[in-house]
Chains A and B, each alone.
Chain A
Amino acid sequence: MTSDTPARRRARVFFSRRRSAPSRARRRLGAAVRMLAALFLAGGVYTVFTPGAFADDDIQLSAAAREGKALFDTSCITCHGRDGQGVDDRGPSLIGVGSASVEFQVSTGRMPMTRQEAQAEQKAPHFNEEQTKQLAQYIQEIGGGPQIPEGELVEDLKTNPDAIARGGELFRVNCTSCHGFGGGGGALSSGKFAPGLHDATAEQIYAAMLTGPQNMPVFGDNQLTPEQKRQIITYIQEQLQQEKDPGGIFNLGRYGPSTEGMAIFLVGITILVFTALWIAGKS
């Protein structure tokens, strides 16, 4: 995962990265569906697990986890090994990474990887939502680890209007150095990069903070409490994912002065040079 080959994403992914942010209604609906699924799963897990069911050599898997194991054994086992023990130089052990990690990696399409490169690429997810849940359940049951909590991950600004400003402060202290003030992402060393946050869902952001995928540092619950995580997600979703800035129809990708410099030549100077050509041209 840390080889130095330059990363190349397909052009389609590049162009669709920021436009494909789902509408708020769709996101809300998706969140509701996921929450229901999570509740259902949690209920299932609770009934299946009784204390003492953890026996290291003989794990009782829930029905969902058994489905997940089947998926794991066809798609993941090559790199992550039997029972997620990991394979040297191919894939890390998944013991203890938790369902949050699986949900992040699989729902963003980063896993399964197509090839070994500087960093796993975001792409269209290989598994659907249900399969992702099953995989996550399987990994959770074999090794434990951080889980995305239940309940709403975005603060309601009507009842808690301060959340967005607090989230903004936390975002600038902890996140901007890699993901940028505008959340557009940024380059890391040798072809690695911090992805843009424009189409990240609340679950994905939460899971990423909790598990520190790839080169992202871990922000455990002792460092950023679940409430602070929700505030950061609120800031990202209510401020940064609103593509619209009050100062223009085009926000120039929020890449800062480099695109502004391009715009002044491509738009300003170009229009005015053509005007000058017309003024001095012979009619």
Chain B
Amino acid sequence: MTAVHHHAGESGTQPVDVHDPHLTRFEIVKEGLRRDDIEIITYESQFHGPNSKAEKRVVRNIAFLFVLSGIASLAFLVFYIAWPWEFELGHTMSDYYTPILGITLGIALLSLGFAILAWAKKLLPHELSIQQRHGGPSPEDEQLITGQTMLYVADELGVQRRPLLKGAIALGMAPLGLAAAAPLVGGLIEDPHKGEHPMMFTTGFHPSNNDGKPVRLTREDGSPIRPEDVSAGGQMTVFPGIPHGATNQHADSPTLLIHLRADDAAKTRENADADPRNKGSMWGNYVAYSKICTHAGCPASLYEQQTNRLLCPCHQSQFLITDNAQPVFGPATRRLPMLPLTVDEEGFFVAASDYRDTVGPDFWERP
């Protein structure tokens, strides 16, 4: 690396009189550069002589790109207006509307871009300029002056000398700040624990949603379910049979009703009855678990009927159905809550009570 110190002001170029009528325009530009501490080291045409063959070729190519851009833009407009764009199911012309728009606009923009780039890169003279940096700290006396000025501002206010004002400011401004923040915080805050049946801890299966009567299990269309509706080895997503039970108003309520094969059911019952919370929650060979993963709340609904596992597709937690839906793999810590099942006098499935465990992802104060 050369250690020559190029400084425009010192290195040969002298100030010129810009009013001198003999100066070329480039010389005036160079005077400007000198004043901006810039020195042009190299500035030469990329071509041998004016109107060289190579230059003409490059100009032709660039012109072609500009024209191509225009043609593609026109094509974009024509297709935009004339192509049948209304969506229809199946293989139709409208399927190609978006691709055609993309390709024509893409070609238009890319050829315009490359035309400009080629102009800059191929036609303009090679240039190497050096500009001096003027960064770094300000001169020491400048720092001093500014610092003293700022301190003097403080002096002028005289807060130090007037302690009463200091206290008054604190007492006066802090409440104002709080007042400004209050509507935001106060408006947003919702008590998650309020009410007799706080939202975090109950689901749509709580009898309070059904005038105190047990809530039926229903399909997404609200129709109740008989035991024979689910085949052995089958599962069904069920919802509380209350108004809007299958909508997102009861996002914690979706439940997976599973009809186990006899031997699996026996194993499941044995494990469930050994657990105080799940004791007696099964009905026949049927078991119902919350569909809401205890990890992050996705529906853990990938039911493997032979291995009796439930897999959550979001973070791959796996729950063993035959063992109280204990997590056997992945990031979930807590088992899926079991919904106590029974059948009402009309032969439809009902929830004997709400879930005995809190449904959904874990949180700090979960009981």
Cα separation A247 to B236 with both chains bound (whole Å)? 34
Q: Are A2 and B306 in contact (CB under 8 A)?
A: yes
What is the size category of the interface that chain A forms with chain B?
A: 35 or more
Stretch at the interface among A40-48, A185-193, A257-265: A185-193
Quick one: which of B70-101 are within 8 Å of A by CB? 87, 89-91, 94-95, 97-99
A116 to chain B, nearest CB (A): 14
Q: Given contacts A189-B307, A216-B305, A217-B233, is CB(A244)–CB(B91) below 8 Å?
A: yes
Q: Interface majority SS on A: helix, strand, loop or mixed?
A: loop
A147 to chain B, nearest CB (A): 15
Give B99's nearest chain A residue, CB to CB.
Answer: A249
Cα separation A244 to B237 with both chains bound (whole Å)? 31
A275 to chain B, nearest CB (A): 8
Q: Given contacts A188-B302, A218-B305, is CB(A212)–CB(B233) below 8 Å?
A: yes
B209 to chain A, nearest CB (A): 22
B294 to chain A, nearest CB (A): 17
User: CB-CB < 8 A to B94: which residues of A?
Assistant: 246
A111 to chain B, nearest CB (A): 15
Q: Are B318 and A189 in contact (CB under 8 A)?
A: yes
Cα separation A256 to B329 with both chains bound (whole Å)? 24
Q: A222's contact among B87, B228, B301, by CB below 8 Å, is which?
A: B228
Q: Given contacts A189-B318, A212-B233, A222-B229, is CB(A217)–CB(B303) below 8 Å?
A: yes
Q: Are A215 and B313 in contact (CB under 8 A)?
A: no
Cα separation A242 to B235 with both chains bound (whole Å)? 29
Cα separation A42 to B91 with both chains bound (whole Å)? 36
Q: Given contacts A218-B231, A246-B95, A248-B98, is CB(A223)–CB(B236) below 8 Å?
A: yes
Write out, one digit per residue, whether chain A residues 89-117 have a CB within 8 A of any chain B CB (1) or not (0).
00000000000000000000000000000
Q: Given contacts A219-B231, A248-B99, is CB(A177)–CB(B89) below 8 Å?
A: no
Is residue A55 contacting chain B, with contact meaning CB distance below 8 A? no
Is residue B232 contacting chain A, with contact meaning CB distance below 8 A? yes
Q: Are A222 and B230 in contact (CB under 8 A)?
A: yes
Give A212's nearest chain B residue, CB to CB.
Answer: B233
Cα separation A163 to B226 with both chains bound (whole Å)? 25
Q: Given contacts A238-B89, A244-B91, A246-B87, is CB(A174)–CB(B237) below 8 Å?
A: yes
Is residue A30 contacting chain B, with contact meaning CB distance below 8 A? no
Quick one: which of A138-161 are within 8 Å of B by CB? 157
User: CB-CB < 8 A to A248: which residues of B?
Assistant: 98-99, 102
Is residue A22 contacting chain B, with contact meaning CB distance below 8 A? no
Cα separation A157 to B87 with both chains bound (whole Å)? 16
Give B230's nearest chain A residue, CB to CB.
Answer: A223
Give A118's nearest chain B residue, CB to CB.
Answer: B307
Q: Are A214 and B231 in contact (CB under 8 A)?
A: no
Cα separation A190 to B307 with both chains bound (whole Å)? 10
Cα separation A220 to B89 with both chains bound (whole Å)? 30
Q: Are A247 and B98 in contact (CB under 8 A)?
A: yes
Q: Are A188 and B89 in contact (CB under 8 A)?
A: no
Cα separation A250 to B121 with both chains bound (whole Å)? 34
Is residue B311 contacting chain A, with contact meaning CB distance below 8 A? yes
User: CB-CB < 8 A to A283: which residues of B?
Assistant: 46, 121-122
Write out, one digit per residue, whether chain B residues 38-58 have a CB within 8 A of any chain A CB (1) or not (0).
000000001000000000000
Quick one: which of B13-72 are within 8 Å of A by CB? 46
Cα separation A203 to B89 with both chains bound (whole Å)? 23
What is the size category of the interface that chain B forms with chain A?
A: 35 or more
User: CB-CB < 8 A to B231: which residues of A?
Assistant: 212, 218-220, 222-223
Q: Are A2 and B89 in contact (CB under 8 A)?
A: no
Cα separation A236 to B324 with both chains bound (whole Å)? 35
B265 to chain A, nearest CB (A): 15
User: CB-CB < 8 A to A222: which residues of B?
Assistant: 226, 228-231
User: CB-CB < 8 A to B304: which residues of A?
Assistant: 188-189, 192, 215
A158 to chain B, nearest CB (A): 11
User: CB-CB < 8 A to A194: which residues of B?
Assistant: 302
Q: B313's contact among A173, A186, A220, A238, by CB below 8 Å, is which?
A: A186
Write out, one digit per residue, whether chain B residues 191-225 have a CB within 8 A of any chain A CB (1) or not (0).
00000000000000000000000000000100000
Cα separation A57 to B228 with both chains bound (whole Å)? 30
User: CB-CB < 8 A to B234: which residues of A?
Assistant: 212, 217-220, 223
Cα separation A1 to B305 with both chains bound (whole Å)? 12
Q: Are A279 and B313 in contact (CB under 8 A)?
A: no
User: CB-CB < 8 A to B329: which residues of A?
Assistant: 189
Q: B90's contact among A1, A186, A188, A242, by CB below 8 Å, is which?
A: A242
Is residue B299 contacting chain A, with contact meaning CB distance below 8 A? yes
User: CB-CB < 8 A to A177: which residues of B?
Assistant: 299, 301-302, 313
Is residue B309 contacting chain A, with contact meaning CB distance below 8 A? yes
Instruction: Count chain A CB atoms within 10 A of each CB in B122, B220, B304 and give the residue with the most.
Output: B304
Is residue B165 contacting chain A, with contact meaning CB distance below 8 A? no
B3 to chain A, nearest CB (A): 25
Quick one: which of A39-70 are within 8 Å of B by CB? none
User: CB-CB < 8 A to A131: which residues of B?
Assistant: none
A-B CB proximity, top 3 nearest: A220-B231, A215-B304, A218-B234
Mark A residues whose CB is within 8 Å of B.
1-2, 157, 164, 169, 173-174, 177-178, 186, 188-190, 192, 194, 212, 214-220, 222-223, 238-239, 242, 244-249, 275, 278-279, 283
A sample of 14 more A-B contacts (CB under 8 A), given A188-B302, A219-B231, is A164-B89, A173-B220, A177-B301, A186-B302, A189-B318, A192-B304, A194-B302, A214-B306, A215-B307, A222-B231, A223-B229, A246-B98, A248-B98, A278-B121
Mark B residues whose CB is within 8 Å of A.
46, 87, 89-91, 94-95, 97-99, 102, 117, 121-122, 220, 226, 228-237, 299, 301-307, 309, 311, 313, 316, 318, 329
